[in-house]
A = this chain, B = another copy of it.
Amino acid sequence: MGSLSLITYRIKKNPILTLLLPLIALCSIYFVVFRTDDSIIGIGSLPISGHKWAHEVENTWYFPYTSRFKMPRYSYKTQHNWLFNDRVEDIIPEGHIAHYDLNKLRSTSDAAVDKERVLILTPLQSFDQRYWNNILQLSYPRELIELGFIIPRTKTGEEALKQLEIAIKNVQSDKKNQRFAKVTILKQDSQSFDKLQEKERHALNVQKDRRAAMALARNELLFSTIGPHTSWVLWLDADIIETPITLIQDMTAHDKPVLAANVYQRYYDEDNKENAIRPYDFNNWQESDTGREIAAGMQPDEIIVEGYAEIATYRPLMAHYYNKNNPIGEEMMLDGVGGGCTLVKAEVHRDGAMFPSFPFYHLIETEGFAKMAKRLNYEVYGLPNYLVYHKEEFN
């Protein structure tokens, strides 16, 4: 009598086994499949409200997003290889070998169709709900957007972090297809970049220290978040509270290595008693002969910071070139950029363009970055008629 017959025999003798066997098998399924996943919202049996977040247990966060069940993929679309499936695993468990073909990674004018990944990077000194709402209204597919923040380890930084965490939780525990591909938050305090209040922040004599610290924060954020799959990096200031919803599509469509939007500010014009706009960011500029002469006469470690009467460079500033009657897509060559809303092809960073915290051709931070991009043979452009808005300043 074989073991099969034995089982049949035992089942006949004891019919309760006929129910127990499938039940045991089903329980096995449950434990094997769901046991390791019980922190995943919506998969385990707990309601979200009763869920204990992973970071509450172990000081980290873990919000899976998947439109498919397990390991999502993304594709490097190629023009040539229409015959073969060129999909590449994106997230691969530790200890993998990942092959990335940087020549297949593209940053094109048709980014969304091409499924190009955009990394939005923001050094966050304070959290403004309007900044977040503006991010949420962007129409570029969120599954292609990664967010990265660096937050100073200060009291205001901690406050901003709390608000940011709440905002992110709301989105990343919402419908799966509404979640961002990835969110990375870095904390760093070595050189706090927010120690200065809004008013002092713009005094020329503190600009060098402040912007050097800001440059370090940008580099730490950039080096920690850019991946081999990143196609574009959008530097977006935490104070930018209003952009067109097609911001990413509009800017990638220009297909430029570095492209800055024009940062303006809404205010109430007391004289004319009406709402009005005024230029805000003066770091987007073209070099001038005067600027070159000033630089030539400087000591090696002196820097020029644009936008101050003390150093009159007579540089053409993009902020002043806005003309609502001209096409919104008009381009302007630039030599310096700000960090308000600037889109960079990932290859520019990958080739080495970073934010110098030391004087680089008498420039630092984002202005030094533009110079470095130029040294790497990339062109730098701005969109004088494409406006994004910085929040008001309280005096």
Contacts and interface: CB of A to CB of B under 8 A. Distances in A.
A357 interface: yes
Contacts of A352: 215-216, 219, 223, 354-357
B28 A94 contact: no
Interface stretch (A4-12, A239-247, A276-284): A4-12
Interface string A53-74: 0110111111111100111100
Interface stretch (A81-89, A260-268, A312-320): A81-89
Contacts of A66: 93-95
A72 B58 contact: no
A183 interface: yes
A188 interface: yes
Contacts of A64: 92-96
A22 interface: yes
Interface in A191-221: 215-216, 219-220
A228 interface: yes
Interface size class of A (residues with CB under 8 A): 35 or more
A45 interface: no
Interface in A26-46: 26, 28-29, 32-33, 36
A103 B190 contact: yes
A376 B143 CA distance: 36
Contact of A182 (B58, B95, B186, B375): B95
A22 B21 contact: yes
A25 B29 contact: yes
A90 interface: yes
Contacts of A225: 228
Contact of A15 (B8, B58, B100): B8
A182 B65 contact: no
B351 A97 contact: no
Contacts of A219: 350-352
Nearest to A143: B95
Given A89-B60, A103-B188, A220-B351, A97 B33 contact: no
A90 B189 CA distance: 22
A360 to B, nearest CB: 8
A156 B307 CA distance: 52
A31 B96 CA distance: 23
A349 interface: yes
A349 B224 CA distance: 10
B187 A101 contact: yes
B179 A95 contact: yes
A18 interface: yes
A135 interface: no
Contact of A36 (B55, B59, B69): B69
A96 B153 contact: no
A63 B97 contact: yes
Contact of A89 (B62, B70, B85, B183): B62
Given A185-B100, A224-B227, A93 B95 contact: no
Contacts of A48: none
Given A29-B29, A97-B168, A186-B102, A59 B71 contact: no
7 contacts: A18-B21, A58-B89, A91-B92, A94-B181, A95-B143, A97-B172, A98-B183
